[in-house]
Amino acid sequence: MQTRNSILALGTAFAVTAALAQNGPVRPKITGISHLAVYSSDAAATEHFYTATVGAAKLPDPENPQGVRYAISATQFIEVLPLPAGQGINRLDHTAWNTESAEGMRKYLAAKGWKTPAHLQRGSDGSRWFEVLDPEGNKVEFIEPPAQPKPVDAPNAIGHHIIHAGFLVHDRAAEDAFYRDLLGFRPYWWGGRDNKVEWVSQQAPDGHDWLEYMLGAGPGKGIPPTMSQNTLGVMDHVSIGEVSVPDAYKVLTAGDRLAGRHDQAPKIGLDGKYQLNLYDPDGIRLELMNFHATEKPCCSPFTAEDPAE
């Protein structure tokens, strides 16, 4: 014979089960940026940029045997892939975010009606991941790092934390439906010149790294036919955090590490943070940026905590 307490407990269990069935899987945590994957037309020149200038460690690519990783920490890196034939001016393959459960994220997106692959891919290092397309067709990867990532030996890295990545965006509202409404990204800052909104920063839901919409290309999708490779490379970028960009610049100049295209000196951006822009041989921008602002930002206040070293 069931007691009143057992009946109540059974009823509570049924209620919880029904609620989970109604709401679907819970979104796993998205803790921050994993990597930016880019194409290279000159492997030797690209290697020199990422190892000599940036100071990253060159590693095999567990995701793609034709690729190379240039790592600045155990869980953050630039993935460099051979340039496909007929690629045009685009040098960005995908952005990638670390999650606590790749399979949980795949099931979550599928339950929300997003097109997802049928199964995960697995790397030789124990990582697991999958890719989807955002509303504008940009490839986004969710990766679950190995349970015990191997330490990276990169003592000369100019920084050890990728704090944001950005790419060309046409429709802010459409992208928000994916990144904010579905994935839970949070507003961090927005700004622009001449009373225009050109940059919108959306912070990861369970960390402080952010995604930057690079607006201003007009309506539609894809790369405008009039856009140059240099302009696209300014928009498609990755940023390494610094305690002091001016000090990082001194390290680069003292070590004769600056070459190719780069800013002549650090400057303070409209967000009030020091920055220095470097460009890899194919024009992808690598931005050194202070973790914290030294001046009041234009346009909007920061609405979330800054990332830290």
Mean pLDDT of 122-134: 97
Whole-model pTM? 0.91
In a domain, 49, yes or no: yes
Instruction: Write the pLDDT tens digit of every residue in 157-199.
Output: 999 999 999 999 999 999 999 999 999 999 999 999 998 999 9
DSSP state of 262: B
Tell me the CATH number at 162. Answer: 3.10.180.10
In a domain, 79, yes or no: yes
In a domain, 248, yes or no: yes
| Neighbour count for residue 12 (Cβ, 10 Å) | 10
Domain hosting residue 244, numbered range: 30-290
Beta strands in the chain (DSSP E): 30-40, 57-60, 68-71, 77-82, 92-99, 121-122, 128-133, 139-144, 162-168, 186-191, 199-203, 210-214, 237-242, 267-268, 274-279, 285-290
Instruction: Write the pLDDT tens digit of every residue in 69-114.
Output: 999 999 999 999 999 999 999 999 999 999 999 999 999 999 999 9
pLDDT tier at 220, thresholds 50, 70, 90: confident
Choice between 218 and 95, residue whose per-residue pLDDT is larger: 95
Give dist(CA 254, CA 101) in Å, integer.
Answer: 43
Does the pLDDT of residue 3 top 80, yes or no?
Answer: no
Average pLDDT, the chain: 93
Residue tagged 């960005």 (tokens): 92
Give dist(CA 100, CA 121) in Å, integer.
Answer: 15
Task: Give me the residues paired with residue 213 across strands.
Answer: 167, 200
Which pLDDT score is estimated for 16? Answer: 38
Give dist(CA 185, CA 198) in Å, integer.
Answer: 18
Give dist(CA 277, CA 264) in Å, integer.
Answer: 9
Structure-block tokens of residue 132: 């989807």
Which pLDDT score is estimated for 66? Answer: 96
pLDDT tier at 22, thresholds 50, 70, 90: low
The domain tally of the chain equals 1
Give dist(CA 161, CA 54) in Å, integer.
Answer: 12
DSSP state of 53: I
Give dist(CA 56, CA 78) in Å, integer.
Answer: 9
Give dist(CA 200, CA 108) in Å, integer.
Answer: 25
Mean pLDDT of 31-47: 98
**What does the angle CA 23 – CA 28 – CA 32 come to, to the nearest 5 degrees?**
140
User: Could you tell me the end-to-end alpha-carbon distance of the chain, in angstroms, rounded to an integer?
Assistant: 60
Choice between 10 and 66, residue whose per-residue pLDDT is larger: 66
Which pLDDT score is estimated for 9? Answer: 41
Instruction: Write the pLDDT tens digit of every residue in 78-89.
Output: 999 999 999 999
Does the pLDDT of residue 125 top 80, yes or no?
Answer: yes
